[in-house]
């Protein structure tokens, strides 16, 4: 059974988080966020919203930087085929 893994990156303030994941014969169960686990790592926030997108091959999406009304961003990266 996999637990959350938190790893600092070379970019200040950017943390790579591997979510809780339990694979089985029918697929998997994943918990991408657990407030108490994140708080134990110094990440004190509650998700405001979650947006997901799927891009065509060779498309790279970017995060938008805001000075006024800034927001923390979580970016989940994985490889999969989109249903388009």
Q: Flag whether pLDDT at 84 surpasses 60.
A: no
29-60: per-residue pLDDT in tens? 778 888 888 889 998 877 766 666 667 778 77
* Rounded Cα distance, 16 and 29, in Å: 20
Number of H helices, E strands in the chain: 1, 4
pLDDT at 1: 47
pTM over 0.75: no
Percent of the chain with pLDDT over 70: 73
């Amino acid at each position: 059974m996999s637990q959350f893994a938190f790893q600092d990156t070379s970019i200040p303030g950017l943390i790579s988080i591997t979510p809780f994941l339990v694979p089985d014969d029918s697929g998997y169960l994943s918990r991408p966020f657990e407030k108490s686990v994140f708080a134990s790592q110094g990440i004190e926030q509650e998700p405001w919203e979650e947006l997901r997108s799927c891009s065509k091959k060779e498309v790279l999406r970017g995060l938008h930087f805001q000075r006024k009304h800034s927001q923390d961003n979580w970016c989940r990266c994985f490889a999969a085929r989109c249903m388009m």
